[in-house]
Amino acid sequence: MNDQKKCEEILLAIAEELPPVVFRNWNRWRDVLPMSPRSVANDDCLGKGPAERVYVGRNAGYTKKSFIDYLRKRTHFTEKHNN
């Protein structure tokens, strides 16, 4: 199986668990997502985060599509080396 196909399968599984808007204070964040919400916030401040940001009051979030696109850019695979 090639890396792109593996990546899309992983992202599809994650997308099935996400709400329409993924807020950084979402209580299931660490159960579903492979990174800290603060890491995403840092990337967001650097202009490297998800393309669409949503605010409800002071709570920041990202649309599901833009968040999955962001994860797609950050996902890569390495080969296991036998020592």
Domain boundaries defined on the chain: 3-74
Query: pTM score, two decimals?
Result: 0.87
pLDDT at 62: 97
Which residues fall within 8 angstroms of residue 64, CB to CB, at 6 or more apart? Answer: 15, 18, 19, 20, 21, 22
Read off the pLDDT of residues 33-74 as tens digits, 9 standing for 90 and up.
989 999 999 999 999 999 999 999 999 999 999 999 999 999
C-beta contacts of 30-38 below 8 A and 24+ residues apart: 34/71, 35/74
- Residues pairing with 54 in the sheet: 61
